[in-house]
Amino acid sequence: MSQHRSLRAAAATGGKRNVLKRFERLEILKKSGDWKTGDRVTGLRKTKPPA
């Protein structure tokens, strides 16, 4: 089955993702000081992807 051309173009350029993985959110929260080692990893607050 072929892929729609709008999806193919975004995949080829690397496209900006608006949803982060948990480990990416943890890195951002660690840098801002809002998460410390030992804190829960579930129920993290929302973060914006780096620009």
pLDDT tens-digit map of 1-51: 888 887 776 556 666 778 889 999 999 999 999 988 888 888 888 888 877
Q: Which pLDDT score, from 0 to 100, does residue 1 have?
A: 80
The H or E element containing residue 18 is: none
Give the predicted TM-score (pTM) of the model: 0.63
First to last CA, the chain: 34
Q: Which pLDDT score, from 0 to 100, does residue 9 have?
A: 66
Q: Which two tokens stand for residue 2?
A: 């072929």
CA distances from 37 to 11, 13, 40, 47 (A): 34, 35, 9, 18
